[in-house]
Chains A and B, each alone.
Chain A
Amino acid sequence: MSKFIKAAVASSVLAASVMGANAAHAATASADARANILEQVTVTNTSDLDFATIVTGATAGNVVVDAAGAVTCAAALVCSGTTTAAGFTVAGTTGQTVDIDADTNVTLTNAGGNAMVATLTESATTLTISGVAATDVFTVGGSLAVGANQADGAYLGNFDVTVNYQ
């Protein structure tokens, strides 16, 4: 490569000297085209963690929504409606391995200080991006502990879900 350049430079010098000092120089303009290609990641939320309809009673019980979104209802409670697990899609460079981190617990509290705790479970802690959107997904399910005669109020809680690049 460098030999070739040297040869090319030498021959052009030779050509210039042969053509003499009167040789016209062609005006040239050069422009650089630059693009910085970056690897990207996208995270999209496709569904919420939804415990659907729960009827409480005098006995405490758990409502479990598994990673696939299926519900298991304690005998003391009545569950109805369609439950879903929180769903996320990760897209990025094919073959890229990412770490998935979700909070293990979320405490839901109302204004009166009453609380319910949901224990969260993620479907995967590591994901290797395949490039197929349908498989580059993970879900977060949970188990909601509903107390006996759970007090009224607006229960609020939020949980963190993070896709970590190494």
Chain B
Amino acid sequence: MKTSGLRRLNTLYAGFAIMGSALFLSSAPAQAAGDLLVAPTRIVLDGQRGTEVILNNIGSETATYRISLELRRMTAEGKLQDVSPEDANSFEKAAKGMIRYAPRRVTLPPNQPQAIRLGVRPPKDLADGEYRAHLLFRAIPKARSVTEQASPSGGFTIALTPIYGVTIPVIIRQGNLQATAGIANARVETSDSGQAFAFDLSRTGDRSTYGEIRVLKQGESEPILVARGIAIYPEVPSRKVTLPVPAEIAAKLTGPISVEYYEPDNAGGGLITKSQLVLR
């Protein structure tokens, strides 16, 4: 689906047939072409008709980046799941249809930033609501050289290429939208990868909420845990928020606590909701 026609050879395994078995050898150095910087990390257009996003090549060599508009849906687990164009609902189709952006492909030398212009052209009869798509920035891997592409005789090579990038949401709000949120069922979870503070974040209304979670222990003024960039999107009434915590923080997560959800500073910094809970 997101496979690019050009692939970069990261790891080369050269194989030789030796006594009925094949030997794979690793060669070819790793080259991190495609490292990237994206700013800002979230776009909300509430009446404005456009903005721009900065893309910078922070790698050590020239790289070509592709910018595309993707659809993602939030799951009950709070993950963002890819939505194929065929499965898109009317809101998602409308979002994709009204967002214009350029350029869509750009080649940048190291430390060369490029502004990606983004404009919105909502249709005249656009229904009130929140429309969202996700802008994906990703480097196109370098083309393999002819010798690397050639199939070796009596052995084989393996090229496993990571294609990595960043998505940021682009949110368009039409009309006067409201939302409220709630926090419940806070707990400390232990899994193979360590401990995590988890709770259920619920939402009602016709738009998403976004902000910062602060966890305070009763009687202490400094939060013991702060997590920025927590959203709940309109497609889910509730999501699980899982915040991995180191052991020393997990040890403090007992007894009465307050979980608070604030808007980001640039949106006023107001309290969205807070909940007093007791952890066992």
Contacts and interface: CB of A to CB of B under 8 A. Distances in A.
Interface of A: 38-58, 81, 86, 88, 92-93, 95-99, 101, 106, 108, 110-111, 116, 118, 123-128, 140, 142, 150-166
Contact of B21 (A41, A55, A92): A55
B32 A46 contact: yes
Interface string B139-177: 001000000111111111111111111111100000000
Given A39-B41, A164-B134, A166-B80, 14 more contacts: A40-B37, A40-B40, A41-B37, A43-B165, A43-B166, A44-B35, A49-B10, A123-B193, A128-B243, A154-B150, A160-B164, A161-B164, A162-B164, A165-B41
Which interface class (under 10, 10 to 19, 20 to 34, 35 or more) fits B? 35 or more
A163 to B, nearest CB: 5
A118 B160 contact: yes
Interface of B: 2-4, 7, 10-11, 13, 15, 17-18, 20-26, 30, 32, 34-42, 54, 58-59, 72, 74, 78-80, 82, 134, 136, 138, 141, 148-169, 193, 210, 212, 226-231, 233, 242-244
Contacts, number: 214
B58 A42 contact: yes
Main secondary structure of the interface of B (DSSP, over half): strand
A40 B35 contact: no
Contacts of A101: 79-80, 82
B244 A128 contact: yes
A38 B186 CA distance: 32
A9 to B, nearest CB: 29
